[in-house]
A and B are shown apart, each in its own frame.
Chain A
């Protein structure tokens, strides 16, 4: 059974950074791309970007370009999402999600979510 286990909730000050981790269990880590999706309170889902650990390539939504960095550490089989220059609007649940190995690109497994609260 595949599980994506994320790090715990964070409370951050405006202007600071947060780094959330995502560790898949089951499957070969480098065989699957990982994306990050966030959900502000009471709002919908927003794709932030993703990484393909096998190729080491990343892709970011324009909205987050320059503020988000997605990385993968193959030695620990862990993916990370770091968001900088935090503001109150970044308060959200952040999910990692795994891309199925398919030409159609869909998220077949999701992490449990990490609540990031930005507050002074």
Chain B
């Protein structure tokens, strides 16, 4: 199975901060990398697919980059509604594994 490792596991940030979350795959997954946001008690929500494509309706402050094994999710200016847990997921092969999550908390 392809292992997905996110860092950090959690972070504290303030409104307006630039936030970066990284995701590393245990082998190359080309650009088959997605990012989801999950708030407590809710289903995950797709933010970014194919490493860098912004899902329709998602604010442009979210962006993704990377290919191969190393990927990044960036929030350019953190907003109050962005405090949540973020997961990366590879769709290169099955099982379609997720990272362990990064919890973004209010500083």
A interface residues (Cβ-Cβ under 8 A, vs B) = 35, 37, 44-47, 59, 61-63, 95, 97, 100, 102, 104-108, 110-113
B interface residues (Cβ-Cβ under 8 A, vs A) = 1, 31-32, 34, 36, 38, 43-46, 49-50, 53, 55, 87, 89, 91, 94-101
Which B residues are in CB contact (< 8 Å) with A113? 43
Which A residues are in CB contact (< 8 Å) with B53? 104
B89 adjacent to A45 (CB under 8 Å): yes
B94 adjacent to A59 (CB under 8 Å): yes
A47 adjacent to B43 (CB under 8 Å): no
Q: How far is the CB of A106 from chain B (nearest CB, A)?
A: 4
Complex formed: what's the CA distance from A46 to B99 in Å?
A: 9
Which A residues are in CB contact (< 8 Å) with B34? 104, 106-107
Which residue of B32, B94, B98 is within 8 Å of A44 (Cβ)?
A: B98
Nearest B residue to A112 by beta-carbon distance?
Answer: B43
Nearest A residue to B92 by beta-carbon distance?
Answer: A105
A108 adjacent to B55 (CB under 8 Å): yes
Greatest chain B CB density within 10 A among A61, A100, A106 is at: A106
Given A44-B100, A45-B89, A113-B43, do A104 and B32 touch, yes or no (CB 8 Å)? Answer: yes
Q: Report, nearest first, the 10 A-B pairs whose CB atoms are least far apart.
A: A105-B91, A110-B43, A106-B49, A61-B95, A104-B50, A45-B98, A106-B34, A47-B96, A44-B101, A44-B100
B44 adjacent to A45 (CB under 8 Å): yes
Which B residues are in CB contact (< 8 Å) with A35? 96
A-B contact pairs, 19 of them (CB 8 A): A35-B96, A44-B99, A44-B101, A45-B38, A46-B98, A47-B94, A47-B96, A47-B98, A61-B94, A100-B49, A102-B49, A102-B50, A104-B32, A105-B32, A105-B91, A106-B46, A106-B49, A106-B50, A107-B36
Complex formed: what's the CA distance from A110 to B101 in Å?
A: 18
Which A residues are in CB contact (< 8 Å) with B91? 104-106
